[in-house]
Amino acid sequence: MYSEKVMEHFRNPRNMGEIPDADGVGTVGNPVCGDMMAIYIKVKDNRIADIKFKTFGCGAAVATSSMVTELAKEKTLEEAMKITRANVADALEGLPPVKMHCSNLAADALHAAIEDYHKKQKSDKGGRK
């Protein structure tokens, strides 16, 4: 069954929504269930100044994305890159085994958003030359 923490994040998700002028966007699909997740980040001084998520996933996906945004906020990009699926599940006091794959989405989407940010930085510089 779900922990109290999962239920609480599911009922009251943090940082849900979209950042229209995001510095990085990560979109991933879950190969297990086909659900989707998007994470938007705003970066300032190498830190995640703002972060939001949108998911077309199950309740556990909502809770894990909510948790991942809390874990990543204000972190440096390097620290945020190190947030793993296991960190997210642990912070939620565990997930039922059949729902562990749902936590993959949140961490993967966060990492994809950071990679997207780096890619954009590079192409911006290229454009200015």
Among 30, 65, 66, 69, binds ligand FES (CB under 6 A): 30
Given a contact cutoff of 8 angstroms between Cβ atoms, the answer to whether 103 and 95 are in contact is yes
Per CB under 6 A, the segment of 12-20, 57-65, 68-76, 113-121 that binds ligand FES is 57-65
Given a contact cutoff of 8 angstroms between Cβ atoms, the answer to whether 60 and 6 are in contact is yes
Beta bridge partners of 95: none
Angle between helix 4-11 and 59-72 (nearest 10)? 90
Cβ proximity to ligand FES, 16 vs 58, nearer residue: 58
Among 58, 81, 91, 100, binds ligand FES (CB under 6 A): 58
Q: Scanning residues 89 to 118, which ones bind ligand FES (CB under 6 A)?
A: 102, 105
